[in-house]
């Protein structure tokens, strides 16, 4: 991970079933203690996931990019806490809805819960 504009990253989300979902991208903007903006590419996701996603998108699926722009914001929340907000922008509502059908919200929720556990348990 190279946390600076233009820097690259790669992380892997793992499902409860043990399936890995790699995400790669580059940082577009870094504002310390405020926000991180990056691209998010899912081209390394399992082939079955990509095929399911394309099916969810519909007729002109090849015309749509599955890439997104992700903005993570950090806000002070109560005493010594931070509120983390993740906003993903997609090429179209169709692509966004396809990601939702494929479990994007649940995936992020699981990942953030694991992250919270790591922070709590040191």
**Domain extent listing, the chain:** 8-120
Residue with more model confidence, 71 or 107: 71
CATH number of the structural domain 8-120: 3.30.530.20
Higher pLDDT, 88 or 103: 88
The pLDDT mean for the chain works out to 90
| Average pLDDT value for residue range 12-38 | 94
pLDDT tens for residues 28-77? 999 999 999 999 999 999 999 998 888 888 766 566 789 999 999 999 99
Instruction: Single out the residue of 12, 82, 19 nearest to residue 40, CA to CA.
Output: 12
Contact 66, 42 (CB under 8 A): yes
- The CA distances from residue 28 to 4, 38, 59, 121, in Å, are 8, 5, 32, 31
pLDDT of residue 81: 87
Does residue 23 register a pLDDT over 90?
Answer: yes
Look up residue 3 and give its two tokens: 């946390």
């Amino acid at each position: 991970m190279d946390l600076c504009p233009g820097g690259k990253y790669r992380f892997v989300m793992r499902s409860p079933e043990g399936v890995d979902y790699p995400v790669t991208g580059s940082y577009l903007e870094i504002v310390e203690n405020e926000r991180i903006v990056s691209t998010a590419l899912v081209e390394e996701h399992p082939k079955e996931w990509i095929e399911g996603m394309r099916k969810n998108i519909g007729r002109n699926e090849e015309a749509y990019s599955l890439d997104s722009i992700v903005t993570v914001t950090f806000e002070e929340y109560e005493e010594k806490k931070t509120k983390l907000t993740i906003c993903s922008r997609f090429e179209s509502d169709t692509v966004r809805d396809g990601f939702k059908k494929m479990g994007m919200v649940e995936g992020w929720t699981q990942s953030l819960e694991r992250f919270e556990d790591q922070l709590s348990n040191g």
